[in-house]
Chain A
Amino acid sequence: MTDPQTIISADHLIAGYLPGVDILNGCSMDVKEGELIGVIGPNGAGKSTFLKALFGLVPVREGKVQLRGEDITNLKADKLVQRGIGFVPQTENVFPTLSIEENLEMGAYQAPKTYKAQRAKMYDLFPVLGKRRNQQAGSLSGGERQMVAMARALMMDPSVLLLDEPSAGLSPDRQDETFVRTRDINRTGVTVIMVEQNARRCLQICDRGYVLDQGTSAYTATGQELLADPKVIELYLGTLGADKDDEDDAGAVVAPDATTEKSE
């Protein structure tokens, strides 16, 4: 029996896109209610595949995904949305020919009665979206699209939010904004599982991190512990940030960190 506090658990997932080619080779994870989880790992470790397997977008061949103890393995995405899981893809995460407002309406497609109230909440959370509600989402910048995508995923008031590399392709200050916003969303009680390339920034804000390697969850610890772990530093964080000799590079990496510490 799973821990009553456990909201999502993945048990030895084996999954892949093509028959015979497994990307995940026994990946496990236990997430407690209200946690902010960061999933890091090198390119090709299966981070995004893991997130997609949780959300039924990649067929799970073996293993089990549970939501509050109920088996949700391989359920269709629309059923998972109904059960309170939201997903924000990394790219192509808005409907380009629909307006911002229509994008949000689609987010509440399964619960049209709550649409207006949720929309008002989203415009509070992302005021810029409210001001530009009739603008076509296809004309927005990457950062703005990311906001629309997050707002759309939050329209169903999910208990779990899955984010696939929310900072990818954004400028450093926009990346910071995204991380801070993710933390804010998590503080309203939403459990967040985020996959990130930007391991350092991700571990700084998350409660707990999972390190994925070659399709298995190598280990887990709190964000701070992983940040200090020499093996993680060597393999995934790089030593650039600690390199005091190269001032330019060190500055580039350290500066955004400093801003977030202030804002948190």
Chain B
Amino acid sequence: MRNADHAGPKARHFPLRIALLSTLTVAAITVISAVPAQASQLATEVADTAGGTETNLLLQNLLNGITFGLLLALASVGLSLIYATTGLSNFAHGEQVTFGAAAAFAAVTAGAPILLAAVFAVLAGGASGWLQDTVLWSQLRKRRIAPMQQMIVSIGLALAAVNLLQIWMGAQRVRLSTSIEVRYEFGPVSIGPQTMISMAVCIVALGAVGFFLQRTRLGRATRAVSDNPALASATGISVNRVIRIVWIMSGSLAALGGVLLALYENTSDFSAGARILLLMFAAVTLGGLGHPFGALVGSLVVGIVAEVSTVFLPTPDLKYAIVMGMLILTLLVRPQGLLGRKERVG
């Protein structure tokens, strides 16, 4: 009976939720059945080369969206954790993603196999997170610099980092793997092995983050610090140590995201991370700022909406505009984001 006092509001929302769900389901069925017909001319061309099976453009884009969403989630989960524990909107997080790709590229150039290069990138990413927090962010926190000022610092850092990355990587596009991508057919969709491995790595890494936050003592302490750093400190949690670990994790995950993004797009360059920075912010805000799983849910929604919208849009260039429009609409209806909770007051 512990939820007895919540039964009232829940019961009131129930019909609304059912109505919303049924509308969405009907809309989804209509769209899925309508699209292959509409896009059949396009699709047939693809299907011809693939040997008979008709590719469903909508399902294919849905799959692409999920893949991109998972990559985005991996890249942005650190952004979300840093915001949650320190209040900082880190505009240099995009460069953290590029840094992963750059480190992996450096390793590959030096002759390392791609797997080893990815491990190196993750370690280097973690080290960069540790270094940044040690020499910069923890010092700013100690001097009680407000999050707004810290954000401006992060913008400066982003500008400096993107230039340093350009010097390091050069201005040209780079590739981590030169193998020719084969694609496997699965009914109406096709997928390459690189993408499949990327998805699997994303799912394992995100699962590990979830396990860390929910099932380990340090993870629960991280959530406690996100809830209230002052109270966490008064409770005996070493807040600075928790934040240091968050920075290391965040750097590693962003680097891994950068490597996988480079494999997924089959190319990378010094501004690869900066290009997805706003999408990461959109995903994290959409999911619920500071919520541990907000980044995951928000990223999946952003990825799917962006990719699926290209089926209907006159030009794919508009897909991120659609994402931002959806973000605004969502926040109008649900200011705390999809997973964010309104807290009881009093």
Contact = CB atoms under 8 A, between A and B. Distances in A.
The 6 closest A-B pairs by CB, nearest first: A81-B236, A95-B227, A110-B236, A95-B224, A138-B343, A77-B233
Contacts of B341: 97, 138
Contact of B236 (A93, A95, A138, A156): A156
B346 A142 contact: yes
A55 B188 CA distance: 65
Contact of A89 (B6, B223, B231): B231
Interface string A134-145: 110011111000
Interface string A97-112: 1100010011101101
A94 B234 CA distance: 11
Contacts of A94: 231
B143 interface: no
B275 interface: no
Given A78-B236, A105-B220, A109-B235, A92 B228 contact: yes
Contacts of B220: 98, 102, 105-106
Contacts of B221: 106, 109
B217 interface: yes
A109 B228 contact: no
Contact of A97 (B223, B231, B239, B346): B223
B270 to A, nearest CB: 38
A39 to B, nearest CB: 18
Contacts of B231: 89, 92-95
Interface string B196-234: 000000000000000000000100110110111011111
Contacts of B344: 138-140
Contact of B235 (A76, A81, A140, A169): A81
A98 B223 contact: yes
A81 B235 CA distance: 7
Nearest to A101: B220
Main secondary structure of the interface of B (DSSP, over half): helix
Interface in B137-159: none
B119 interface: no
Interface in A102-142: 102, 105-107, 109-110, 112, 131-132, 134-135, 138-142
A88 B2 CA distance: 26
Given A95-B227, A97-B227, A106 B6 contact: no
Contacts of B166: none
A256 interface: no
Interface of B: 2, 6, 217, 220-221, 223-224, 226-228, 230-239, 341, 343-344, 346
A259 interface: no
A232 B216 CA distance: 51
A138 B224 CA distance: 12
Interface of A: 55, 57, 76-78, 81-82, 87, 89, 92-98, 102, 105-107, 109-110, 112, 131-132, 134-135, 138-142, 152-153, 156, 169
A141 B230 CA distance: 21
Most B Cβ at <10 Å: residue of A93, A110, A139 = A139
A95 B346 contact: no
A127 to B, nearest CB: 13
B235 A107 contact: yes
Contacts of A109: 217, 221, 235-237
A97 B214 CA distance: 12
A4 B189 CA distance: 79
A98 B2 contact: no
B235 A152 contact: yes
Contacts of A142: 346
A81 B55 CA distance: 63
B2 A95 contact: no
Given A92-B228, A92-B231, A131-B2, 6 more contacts: A57-B230, A78-B236, A89-B230, A94-B231, A98-B223, A105-B220
A77 B230 CA distance: 9
B222 to A, nearest CB: 11
Nearest to A132: B2
A171 B234 CA distance: 26
Given A96-B343, A97-B341, A109-B217, A78 B233 contact: yes
A106 B221 CA distance: 7
Contact of B237 (A55, A78, A138, A139): A78
Contacts of A87: 234
A139 B236 contact: no
Nearest to A136: B341
A77 B227 contact: no
B227 A139 contact: no
Contacts of A102: 220, 223-224
A49 B9 CA distance: 40
Contacts of A96: 227-228, 343
A77 B232 CA distance: 10
